[in-house]
Structure 1
Amino acid sequence: MDETSVKIMSDNKQTRPRGFTSDNIAGASPEVIAAITACASGQALPYGNDELTHIVERQLAEVFEHEVDVFLVSTGSAANALALAAMTPPWGSVLSHADAHINRDECGAPEFYTAGAKLVQLPGEAGKIDLAALAVNTTRMVGDVHSAQPSSVSITQATEVGSVYALDEIKAIGDICRSANLPLHMDGARFANALVTLRCSPAEMTWKAGVDLVSFGATKNGTFGVDAVVSFRRDLASTIAFRRKRAGQLSSKMRFMAAQMDGYLRDGVWLRNAVHANAMASALAQGLATVPDVEIQQRPEANILFCQLPTSLIRGLLDMGFRFYHDRWESGIVRFVTSFATTEADVSDLIGAATSLSTPIASARAPAGAE
C-alpha cells in the first residue's frame, strides 16, 4: 500500500461524519445486517412466496392489531405512488398539504403511477392540512365532468417540517374523508418517529383514526432499502399487487427485503431507533437555543429541526465540515435532521461549533464600551 493510501485511510479514521442533511445518510442497523446475513444461504421461493416474507406480514398484522395486506417495495416514493394509484383514478385528485413530500419531492411519481391524477395543494400551519380547507375541497365540483374529482386524501406523518399530527387531528381528517366517501392515505416515511412522540399504538395512529393505506417507512430509520404499503382494506389488495408488479417493484428475491423488515421490527429495534433519533433532535434544539443569533423556528416533534441562522454562521459551519440543507426555503433558514445513528458527540460538536462561531459575531455587534 502506498503512502498516499495510508494517509487517506488515517484521515478517514480521524474524521467523524458531520452530516445533518437527512436521515437517509445513515447506514443500517446491525440487526438488519444480521438478518440479511442469516437469509443469504440456501434456497427460498421467489416473489414473496417465501416464509420470511410471510413472517413479516404476520409481524405487521400484530404491530397494527389488524388484518393487513403487506406489499414490500424498495423505496418510499414507490410506496406512496402505488398506494395513491390504488385509491385514485386518472380523472381524480389527491388532496394533500402543499408542502407534502408527494407534492414537492416525488418528481411527478404520483401523477405518473395514477396515469394523470391531479394533486390539489391545501394550506395549513406547521405542514398540517387545514381542516376547513380539506372539508371544502372534498366536495368541490363533485359530479362536474369538466373537473378532476376529489378521490383521495394523503397526510404526511411526521410532516416535512418535523411536526406531528395529533390523534384527534388524524381522526378529524378521517371523519371528513368518511363523510365524503374518500380513502385516506398516510405517508409514513417517518412513521416510527411520529409514533414514539405520540406514545400511542400504531392502530390508534392509523386505522382506528380512519386511515386506509399506510406507506410504512423503514429506510430512514434502520433498513437500507425496504419500505412497505400496508393496506387495511382487503378490496385494494389485488389492485396493489398488480400495480406493484407492473411498476417493477415485485422483487424476485423478496426474502432479502423481508429480512431487512424482520430485523427492523424484531425486538423493537424500529422503536428504539426512533426514540434515539428524536432525542438527538431535541438535544440539538435545546443546545442551539442558547447560541446567540440562532432562532429555533419550531421545537422538533420528531427528528427534524428548522432554525434561522446568520449567513456568516451558516458559512462557518459549512467550512468546518458540517453538512445540512440551507436557503432552500428562504434566506437563512436551515434544516438539521438527526437519525438513529446520530451520536451525542455529533450533536455536541455542532452546538460547540455554532457557539464558538457565534461569539465573535455577537462581539462584533456589541456597542462600543459594552461588556
Structure 2
Amino acid sequence: MKRGFGSDNHAGTHPQILAALQAANVEHAPAYGTDEWTEKANQEFRAQFGSEAQVFFVFNGTAANVTALRALAKPHQSVFCSDVSHINVDECGAPEYMAGCKLIALPSVNGKLTVEELEKAFIRRGDQHYSQTQVLSLTQPTELGTTYSMEELKTLITWAKDRKLYVHVDGARLANAAIHLKKSFKEFTTELGVDAVSFGGTKNGLMMGEAVVFLNKSLSLDFKYIRKQCAQLPSKTRFIAAQFEAYFKQDLWQKIANHSYEMAHYLYNAVKDIPGVEIREVPQSNAVFAKVPSAWVKTLREHYFFYVWDENTFECRWMTSWDTQKEDIDGFAKILKELAR
C-alpha cells in the first residue's frame, strides 16, 4: 500500500525498533517477563514516569484499556469517558464485557470532557440501585486530535480526586501530546495524580505491543493475575520489551513523535487555503480533521488512503506517522488543488 493518511497504524516498524527486535532474537531467554530486556524496558519507563511506576506489557491498545479498567473498577462501578472515546466507540463493548464495569459516555467539546458535564453525571452516590462511578478516563490526545492543556488536566484531575475517583489515561498517542505540551510524560501524568496509563507503542513505530503503566503502585498488586486471565501475558515478552527499550533510548520517542507532529502541521499549511477544504483547527497532535466535498473523496482515496470520520458531514481524518514524507503531502495537496479548480 502506498503511504497515505489513513492511520499511524498503517506505517511499518521504525528501523531502529526493527533492529532492536533482531538484536533480541538470540538464543534462549526466560519467558513471561523475567528476561533482561523486560527489566531494561521497565527502567526506561520508570525514568519517564517516576521510580514507582509499575509496567505490564500487553499485545494491543484495547487490551491495555480493558485490563487497566478492570484493575481500577469493580463490576458494580462505572467509568466516566468521552462520547467519542475509543473505549466507548471503537472497542466493540470490550471494556464492559471483559472488565465488567459500566461506561458512562458524556458529551464532549472537540473530544474533551468538561467538569460541567462530569458534575451533572456524578449522582446517586451510595444508591444501591445505581452503578457507582469509580474512574475518570481521559484520552490524551483525544480521538479528534485535540490535546488537553495542562490547566485542563489539572482541573479535571483535581475534580476527580476531590471525589475519590481514579484517573485513567488512554495514551495510545501520548508521545504526541508530550510534544504538543512541551512536557515530559511525568509532568502531565504522575505529577498531576493520574493513576494508570495505557501507553501506546503500535501507533508510534513499534511492530506491536502496548504497556499498562500504574503510577498508583497499590493498584498494580493483582494486575499480573488480571493480565493472565485476559489472555494478555506474552510468553516471549522480550520482543515487546526490546521495542520499548529502543523507543525510549536516545529519545527516539521524541524524534518519532516530533516528526509526525511536524508533518501534521506541514499538511495543515499545505491544504488550509484550498477552496472547498474546511479545517477543524490547527493540529494539536498528528491528526488533521477536514471537511471536503463528498465528490472528492473517491478520487483522493484512489491516490492516498484516509478515513471519512463523519459520513454525514464528510469530515475526514488525515493522520501522519513516523514515515510520512513531505512529498506525500505535496502530492496530496496537488490533487486537492486540482479538484478545487
Q: For residue 81 of structure 2, what is the aligned residue in structure 1?
A: 96
Runs of 5+ unmatched residues, structure 1 = 1-15, 360-371
1:77 aligns with one of 53, 62, 68: 62
Equivalent position amino acid for 1:322 in 2: Y
**Aligned ranges for residues 197-346 of structure 1 at < 5 Å?**
197-319=180-302, 321-326=303-308, 328-346=310-328
Aligned counterparts, 1:51-200, within 5 A: 51-115=36-100, 117-138=101-122, 140-200=123-183
Deviations 1:22-51 (A, max 9, x none): 110000111111111111112211100111
| SS state at 1:95 partner | strand
User: Which structure 1 residue ranges, 4+ long, deviate > 3 Å from structure 2?
Assistant: none
Does the residue aligned with 2:165 lie in a helix, a strand or coil? coil
Aligned-pair CA distance for 1:252? 1.1
Amino acid at match of 1:118: K
Change (3 A) 1:38 1:279: same
| Aligned mates of 2:48, 2:171 — CA distance in 1 | 14
Structure 1 position 170, deviation (Å):
0.9
Q: Encode CA deviations 1:148-169: one digit per residue, 9 max, x unaligned.
A: 1111110000100000001111
Deviations, residues 249-302 of structure 1 (Å, cap 9, x unaligned) = 111111111111111111111111011101111111111112111111122100
Aligned-residue CA RMSD (Å): 1.2
Are 2:114 and 2:156, in contact at CA under 8 Å, matched by a contact in 1?
no
Give the TM-score of the pair, scaled to structure 1.
Answer: 0.90
Considering only CA atoms, is the larger Rg found in Structure 1 or Structure 2? 1
Post-superposition shift, 1:233? 1.6
SS at 1:159 equivalent: coil
User: Does the 8 A contact of 1:167 with 1:204 survive in 2?
Assistant: no
Q: Does 1:353 align with 2:335?
A: yes
Bigger proportion of residues as helix: 1
Aligned residues: 341
For residue 19 of structure 1, give the secondary structure of its aligned residue in structure 2: coil
Instruction: State the distance in 2 between where 1:326 and 1:232 align.
Output: 36
What amino acid maps onto 2:102 in structure 1? K
- What secondary structure does 2:280 align onto? strand
Which residue type is aligned with residue 76 of structure 1? G
Q: 2:35 pairs with 25, 29, 50, which one?
A: 50
Does the 8 A contact of 1:167 with 1:209 survive in 2?
no
Name the amino acid aligned to 1:56: A
Do the aligned residues in 1 keep the contact of 2:260 with 2:321 (CA within 8 Å)?
A: yes
Q: Deviations over 1:119-174 (max 9, x none)?
A: 10111211000111113333x11100111111111000010000000111111111
Q: Secondary structure at the match of 1:77?
A: helix
Displacement of 1:209: 1.3
Amino acid paired to 1:127: G
What's the CA shift for 1:329?
4.7
* CA distance, structure 1, for counterparts of residue 154 and residue 44 of structure 2: 25
- Greater relative contact order: 1 or 2 (C-alpha under 8 angstroms, separation 6 or more)? 2
Deviation at 1:102, TM superposition (A): 0.5
Gaps of 5+ in 2: none
- Give the counterpart letter for 1:125 in structure 2: V
TM-score (norm 2): 0.97
Distance of 2:58 and 2:311 partners within structure 1 = 30
Amino acid in the other structure paired with 1:37: Q
